[in-house]
Amino acid sequence: MISRSTIDRVFESARVEEVIGEFVQLKKAGSNFKGLSPFADEKSPSFMVSPVKQIWKDFSTGKGGNAISFLMEHEHYTYPEAIKWLAKKYNIEIEETEQTSEEKEQMNERESMFLVSNFAKEYFHNQMLNTNQGKAVGLSYFKERGFREETIKKFDLGYCLDEWDNFTKAALTKGYKLKYLASTGLTIVKENKQFDRFKGRVVFPIHSMSGRVLGFGGRILKADKKAAKYLNSPESDIYHKSKILYGIYQAKKEIAKQDNCFLVEGYTDVISFHQSGIENVVASSGTALTSDQIRLVNRLTKNITVLFDGDAAGIRASIRGIDLILEQGMNVKVVQFPDGEDPDSFAKAHSDVELKEYLENSAQDFINFKVSLLLKDAANDPVKKAGLIRDIVTSISKIPDSIQREVYVQECSRIMEISERVLFSELAQIISKTNKDEAKKHQSEKKTLEVVKKQEIQVKEVDQLSILEKEIIRLLLLYGNDEVDFTEEIVNIDEDSKEIVTTRKYQNTVSAEIYLHLHDDEIEFTNPIFQEIYNEIIHQLNQFEKLEIDKLVNHKNDIISSTVTSILMDEEKHQLSNWESKNIFVKESVEVLFKAVNDVVFNLRRILIDRLVKERLNSEKEYSNAEKEEIMNYNSLRIRLFEKLNRVV
Instruction: Give tens-digit pLDDT for 515-538.
Output: 888 877 777 888 889 999 999 988
Are 533 and 410 part of one and the same domain?
A: no
Are 471 and 398 part of one and the same domain?
A: no
In a domain, 444, yes or no: no
In a domain, 590, yes or no: yes
Are 225 and 255 part of one and the same domain?
A: no
pLDDT value, residue 493: 72
Are 192 and 255 part of one and the same domain?
A: no
CB 359 within 8 A of CB 337: no
Are 259 and 230 part of one and the same domain?
A: no
Q: Which of 63, 89, 115 is the last residue of a domain?
A: 89
Alpha-carbon separation of residue 397 from 230, 273, 281, 425 (angstroms): 36, 33, 28, 12
Quote the strand ranges of 314-446, DSSP E.
331-336, 364-365
In a domain, 320, yes or no: yes
Are 317 and 218 part of one and the same domain?
A: no
pTM of the complete model = 0.70
Are 408 and 304 part of one and the same domain?
A: yes
Interacting residues of 60 by C-beta distance below 8 A, sequence separation 6+? 37, 39, 40, 42, 46, 47
Question: Alpha-carbon distance 12 to 135, whole Å?
Answer: 44
Instruction: Give tens-digit pLDDT for 524-577.
Output: 888 889 999 999 988 888 887 788 888 888 887 878 888 898 888 887 765 665
Alpha-carbon separation of residue 106 from 102, 112, 229, 236, 627 (angstroms): 6, 10, 39, 20, 60
Helix axes 382-397, 320-327, angle to 10 degrees: 30
Count structural domains, the chain: 4
pLDDT value, residue 611: 74
In a domain, 380, yes or no: yes
Are 494 and 625 part of one and the same domain?
A: yes
CATH number at residue 228: 3.90.980.10
Phi–psi pair at 213, nearest 5 degrees: -80, 120
Alpha-carbon separation of residue 195 from 128, 162, 190, 199, 473 (angstroms): 19, 11, 9, 8, 59
Are 36 and 159 part of one and the same domain?
A: no
Burial (CB count <10 Å: 0-12, 13-18, 19+), residue 461? exposed
pLDDT value, residue 599: 86
- Please identify every stretch of the chain with a pLDDT value under 70, giving residue numbers as ranges: 97-107, 286, 311-314, 316-318, 379, 442, 444-462, 491, 494, 497, 573-591, 613, 615-649
Are 233 and 256 part of one and the same domain?
A: no
In a domain, 600, yes or no: yes
CB 210 within 8 A of CB 249: yes
CB 459 within 8 A of CB 487: no
In a domain, 510, yes or no: yes
Domain containing residue 225: 107-239
Are 520 and 625 part of one and the same domain?
A: yes
Q: Which amino acid is at 367?
A: I
CATH number at residue 415: 3.40.1360.10
Q: Which of 174, 204, 239 is the last residue of a domain?
A: 239
pLDDT value, residue 583: 53
Q: Which of 58, 89, 120 is the last residue of a domain?
A: 89
Instruction: Give tens-digit pLDDT for 463-516.
Output: 778 888 899 999 999 888 888 888 877 767 767 767 777 778 888 888 888 888
Helix (H) or strand (E) holding 242: none
Interacting residues of 506 by C-beta distance below 8 A, sequence separation 6+? 485, 486, 488
CB 295 within 8 A of CB 328: yes
Query: If we measure between CA atoms, which residue out of 246, 252, 253, 249 comes closest to residue 269?
Result: 246
Question: Alpha-carbon distance 485 to 642, whole Å?
Answer: 22
In a domain, 368, yes or no: yes
Are 300 and 352 part of one and the same domain?
A: yes
In a domain, 378, yes or no: yes
